[in-house]
Structure 1
Amino acid sequence: MLDQLKYKIIAFVILIAAFSSCKSGATHSKKGTATILEADNFKHYVDYFNTMEDENLKFAIPNDSAWTWMEKNIPLFECPQQNFEEIYYYRWWTARKHIKKTPLGFGITEFLVDRSYADKYNLIACALGHHINEFRWVHDPKYIEQDVHLWYRGNDGKPMNKLYKFSSWTADALYNRYLVNNDKNFLLDMMPDMITDYSVWEKDRMRSDGLFWQHDVKDGMEESLSGGRKVQNARPTINSYMYANAMAISKMATMKGDKTLEEKFKSKADNLQSLIEKKLWNPKSEFFETFTEKDTLAQVREAIGFIPWYFNLPQKDKGFEKAWEQIKDEKGFSAPFGLTTAERRSPRFRTHGTGTCEWDGAIWPFATAQTLTALANVLNNYNQTFVDKTDYFKQMDLYVQSQYYRGKPYIGEYLDETTGYWLMGDRERSRYYNHSTFNDLMITGLVGLRPRADEKIEVNPLIPQEKWDWFCLDNVLYHSNIITILWDKTGEKYGKGKGFRVFKNGKEIAVSEKLEKLVSE
């Protein structure tokens, strides 16, 4: 009798634990267990970063707790090119600085210092899509989940007052996060908020022709060549964002089994795709351009013309990919320290001065992150001959090189394209500017883990074959499994044999003699 009672109690405890797990929708139950790399081998980076400053601003995770947090939460990475490795850990170190406790949970800031145009708790919505895409790789989901809840429900259950101050691709980013953590519950719980979000933008920003307009400044891109702070242009930014958000909501509706809603938002996306290709594509410049409030093309190439590929929007085999030749052209966007925000051949390039947030050519990490995400999509999803892995690696290399200031790791607002000098770099507001992604690019682009809805693991590295003799990305929490990706040219570095290998929970699931696309069955 006692034995039966004991077994019933054990069964009840197990049932309660299972119910709690399902209810929470948590997918981080597996603790970080790196297969190859030892976390302590990278602690020296954080020790160094902590010495670079007098920590005048401390929030949820101060410097003395930074390594403890990183050790528990981030994928590990090593490679033979030291600056890549250093900036990888530096960007996690800086991202952690922006986690802020509020009465309603964690928020993620853009500036560490208070800004007059921020919402409660110093939150700014401009880079929310970047924050979600970067933080989707953090093992503990509460930071980004509470931040999203704060934005959409933190005002007595309603959105924050300044959520719509900036256009965004939040629904798309949340769906992309689902592709990493497989948390269907959280995604579908946010679905009504995303539908409401979409209707707000339709009401406030949709033109009679079905395109969306936006002030440059409310795209987070002040002082551009194609518009202005008060001009109502149909820009590739907001239109691509709204296409992507409609596609994401359609996919959410599919997951929920709502066929009517699925078709409704798929139709919205299809219509926007057609309008963008028809009205924003300039066949003369072979580029997506801003469509002005006067219903004419702006006749200038800007980095925002690459954004449609951030969402795989342009139809394949239609010739649109020729636009990517411009990232290799020194009269286009190719500059000594990265990709400019406007084409260098324009007579108005860098004519707006300095110090008022100009997007007239200087390099902004916000735009660099978008362009490199788009480029990775082109290399993965489109058949074309205009760009290849060497182009991607070159720009990632320049992105890494640009993130130094006076010999130390640094991320700020924007920089000079020829000298690498950070504009306004000595201003307190610029330090640790949380306005871009980097580690998401390292994981999904350079190393090439391509998130998917199914259980196949796809890896397509964009590292040229002879560039590095070895590298390893480890402790990646993906679909509740720990993924390890490594390349070892000689087999002597990691002792797992020669070649390119993918492991799931320590078990090898895919291998090749060379750096190439692998898909585990």
Structure 2
Amino acid sequence: MRRLNRLVFIMLLTFTMGLKSYSQKNNVLNPSDFKHYIDDFNRNDNELYKQFITNDSVWKFLKSNIPFFECPDKNIELTYYFRWWTYRKHIQKTPTGYVITEFLPKVSWSEKYNTIASASALHFYEGRWLKSKEYLNGYANFWFTEGNPRMYSFWVANSLLEYYKVTNDLSIIGLLPQLVKNYKVWEIGWVKKGHFIGKNKDGLFSTFDDRDGMEMQIGGSGERPTINSYMYAEAKAISEFAMLVGNKKLVKEFVAKADSLKVLVNTQLWDEKAKFYKTRSEKDGQFVDVRELQGYTPWYVNLPPENKGYEKAWELITTNNGFNAPYGLTTAEQIHPKFTISYAGHECQWNGPVWPMATSITLKALSNVINNYNQNTVTKHDYYDQFIKYSNSHRIVLDKGKILPWIDEDMNPYTGDWISRTRLKNWENGTWSEEKGGVERGKDYNHSSYCDLLISDLIGLKPQINNSVIINPLLPEASWDWFCLDNVYYKGKTLTILFDRYGTKYNKGVGLMLYVDGVLMGQKDKIEKMKVELD
């Protein structure tokens, strides 16, 4: 308790000093230069479901809360502001605090306040870059007071740890007892057809494919790479929170859980013949005969070992028989006989279409492979190419040929058509079905991340649990001559990351630079990794 009180004092002092230095800082970018994006989004929007932050007030909110960004690729720049514009639509104020929703209209499978746990971890990853912390703090408390964190797979401890690394908000550490309880309820498990499931006798966790938010997969349900990777990440995060409060017994307990699960995933879910992580079917316990995009999830949490041949799985990220397609990454390998792009049956199928949620997780996993593993299977070029493809997929072509920024549910990987939208808009009597979620169900769908992938992976701002920061952009050397990420609120300080190849864009010198509260704290002549201590 004495250690925690000392931490509280240090954090309050840091926060106060951060506010003072922020008020003295001169931004490199002028936020008003990007307002035209927001004006265009508003102008082209049919605001059917007005939320807490309406279109009328969105610029005020964004101007006060988001990091500003510019680069030579205007499609990436547009998509970045579009995703912040859509994210704020899902901030809901409740009688007890704030939550983040997935759909704008109320859907029958949601729980209190229209919440759904499926993509909630991505909500924390994305929203951790907002300056105001009241929204995610309220959301974190909601899951352990009014919500159901086991409604779907939900790597809650992991995402809260990543949120804490940005904010150093001690109220998040206060959730440690609830995080421990949640993990242990998963270990006890069960319910089955009413969903949930849990830990098997062999030590691995099982779940249904739709409880992973990935219904109708070819491989189906069982001991899946997803849930087991998430539970490994949960155990690791809990041990790190326990270390912060000095609970050595809890650290030891959850390090052991993580280590045990890591061994099991690498020995029991790795198909050596297929060179891929696979599901063991609930029917017979055998490997399913398909490689699915979810097989990359272990790298999302840095679980696979180095230099043991596991990185070979990433060869499929660039092949057209594997997962690579014109409009993104398919959810199943395209060579499989059950690979399907269907406009019949269930409107949400994960047996082939591109899903932004799966893309988000895979891009983070790809970033981890490049950053944290000594390998030559994938490079910065592969990340950059897939990120551009993901950015450009955020579009819709209207009936009269007008193209608008858009995010929805599942996408045709060969045409860029939003499959569920095409089907749902004529689902019942030639129009939208109330039973399926109502008008424009998937519009502005908050089931994936983008801004976090740009900030933390493409630009490479890697939050640390200590008082430092790592910058390691995944931009190929010859890609951009300049970029700037400005007004990033990090541990009570304001960061600016900029690159200027010739020194003529920002007139602050040549190379990659990190400013902390307006003071140059790190510089490299070219785009390469740097680590900076903030104090």
Fold conserved (TM > 0.5)?
yes
Identify the residue that residue 322 of structure 1 maps to in structure 2.
Answer: 312
Query: Using the alignment, how far apart are the partners of 1:356 and 1:459 within structure 2?
Result: 41
Query: Using the alignment, how far apart are the partners of 1:25 and 1:245 within structure 2?
Result: 28
**For 1:211, which of 191, 201, 204 is the aligned residue?**
204
The offset of 1:109, in angstroms, is: 0.4
Q: How does 1:72-111 map to 2 (within 5 A)?
A: 72-111=64-103
- Assess if the C-alpha contact under 8 Å between 2:97 and 2:138 holds in 1: yes
**For 2:291, which of 301, 325, 337 is the aligned residue?**
301
Is 2:411 aligned against 1:415?
yes
Give the TM-score normalised by structure 2: 0.89
Identify the residue that residue 172 of structure 1 maps to in structure 2.
Answer: 158
SS of 1:100 mapped into structure 2: strand
Give the TM-score normalised by structure 1: 0.92
Identify the residue that residue 142 of structure 2 maps to in structure 1.
Answer: 150
Query: Using the alignment, how far apart are the partners of 1:415 and 1:136 within structure 2?
Result: 27
Identify the residue that residue 478 of structure 1 maps to in structure 2.
Answer: 490
Is 2:364 aligned against 1:373?
yes
Query: Using the alignment, how far apart are the partners of 1:198 and 1:363 within structure 2?
Result: 31
Query: Using the alignment, how far apart are the partners of 1:28 and 1:482 within structure 2?
Result: 7
Identify the residue that residue 382 of structure 2 maps to in structure 1.
Answer: 391
The offset of 1:24, in angstroms, is: 12
- The Cα offsets for residues 306-343 of structure 1, whole Å up to 9 and x where unpaired, read as 00011001112221111111101110011011111111
Q: How does 1:44-443 map to 2 (within 5 A)?
A: 44-154=36-146, 160=147, 162-183=148-169, 185-204=170-189, 205-227=198-220, 231=221, 233-293=222-282, 294-350=284-340, 353-354=343-344, 355-406=346-397, 407-425=403-421, 427=425, 428-443=440-455
The offset of 1:29, in angstroms, is: 4.0
The offset of 1:54, in angstroms, is: 2.3
List alignment gaps of at least 5 residues for structure 2.
1-7, 190-197, 398-402, 426-439
The offset of 1:173, in angstroms, is: 0.5
SS of 1:77 mapped into structure 2: strand
SS of 1:106 mapped into structure 2: strand
- Assess if the C-alpha contact under 8 Å between 2:144 and 2:178 holds in 1: yes
Identify the residue that residue 11 of structure 1 maps to in structure 2.
Answer: none
The offset of 1:223, in angstroms, is: 0.4
- The Cα offsets for residues 4-56 of structure 1, whole Å up to 9 and x where unpaired, read as xxxxxxxxxxxxxx979849989974657563101110011000000112212
Query: Using the alignment, how far apart are the partners of 1:174 and 1:163 within structure 2?
Result: 13
The offset of 1:175, in angstroms, is: 0.6
Query: Using the alignment, how far apart are the partners of 2:378 and 2:14 within structure 1?
Result: 43
SS of 2:312 mapped into structure 1: helix
Equivalent pairs, count: 493
SS of 1:430 mapped into structure 2: coil
Query: Using the alignment, how far apart are the partners of 2:19 and 2:171 within structure 1?
Result: 16
Identify the residue that residue 474 of structure 2 maps to in structure 1.
Answer: 462
Specify the code of the residue in structure 2 equivalent to 1:349.
F
Identify the residue that residue 5 of structure 2 maps to in structure 1.
Answer: none
- Assess if the C-alpha contact under 8 Å between 2:411 and 2:418 holds in 1: yes
Specify the code of the residue in structure 2 equivalent to 1:93.
W
Q: Identity of paired residues, percent?
A: 43
- Assess if the C-alpha contact under 8 Å between 2:103 and 2:442 holds in 1: yes
Q: 1:206 to 1:319 in 2, by over 3 A?
A: same
- Assess if the C-alpha contact under 8 Å between 2:343 and 2:419 holds in 1: no
Identify the residue that residue 447 of structure 1 maps to in structure 2.
Answer: 459
Query: Using the alignment, how far apart are the partners of 1:128 and 1:345 within structure 2?
Result: 32
